């Protein structure tokens, strides 16, 4: 199993997959910050003064880390950032489900309008698993950076 997980082509594939998902999510959120701010507000987890700042800053964090990840620059560090975000997203969805909220997840801004639910938790766990694999095994194949 270790041999499969450390395969450079496998690691490159999940690096690209994770990067593309977060680039798409970031662009969707950044292009409509007002809608994304409403999606954050619907979770009812954060104080109102922080919503707009988060709606503006979070997509750019996602975009920058995803682009760096795709280009193979500081893969472990950027995977750690994206994995941390995924953990926060998973917790927010679980809390929302426990509270009985029937809201759009806001994962891709206002695109798609997917509701929070078990499927969304499983999707995020799958992405988190990809991030954790990249943290453990790194991926410098087809990279602009040759750091080890």
Confidence label for 148 from pLDDT (cuts 50, 70 and 90): very low
Assess whether pLDDT exceeds 70 at residue 74: yes
pLDDT at 54: 95
- Write down the residue that tokens 């426990």 correspond to: 98
Reference 93, options 138, 136, 43; nearest CA is 43
pLDDT in tens, 28-68: 999 999 999 999 999 999 999 999 999 999 999 999 999 99
Model confidence, pTM? 0.89
8-to-12, 18, 59, 67, 97 alpha-carbon distances in Å: 6, 15, 29, 19, 38
CA–CA gap between residue 57 and residue 74 (Å, rounded): 21
List of residues 6+ apart from 105 with CB closer than 8 A: 39, 93, 114, 115, 116, 120
Mean pLDDT across the stretch 99-127?
Answer: 86
Mean pLDDT across the stretch 86-110?
Answer: 90
Mean pLDDT across the stretch 92-119?
Answer: 86
CA–CA gap between residue 135 and residue 22 (Å, rounded): 17
CA–CA gap between residue 66 and residue 54 (Å, rounded): 18
């Amino acid at each position: 199993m270790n041999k499969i997980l450390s395969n450079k082509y496998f690691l490159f594939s999940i690096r690209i997959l994770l990067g593309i998902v977060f680039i798409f999510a970031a662009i969707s959120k950044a292009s409509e910050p007002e809608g994304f701010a409403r999606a954050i507000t619907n979770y009812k987890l954060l104080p109102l003064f922080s919503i707009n700042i988060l709606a503006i800053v979070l997509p750019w964090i996602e975009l920058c880390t995803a682009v760096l990840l795709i280009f193979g620059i500081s893969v472990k560090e950027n995977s750690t950032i994206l994995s941390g975000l995924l953990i926060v997203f998973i917790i927010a969805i679980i809390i929302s489900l426990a509270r009985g909220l029937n809201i759009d997840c806001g994962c891709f801004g206002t695109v798609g309008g997917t509701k929070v639910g078990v499927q969304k938790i499983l999707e995020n766990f799958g992405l988190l698993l990809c991030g954790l694999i990249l943290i453990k095994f790194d991926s410098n194949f087809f990279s602009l950076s040759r750091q080890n």
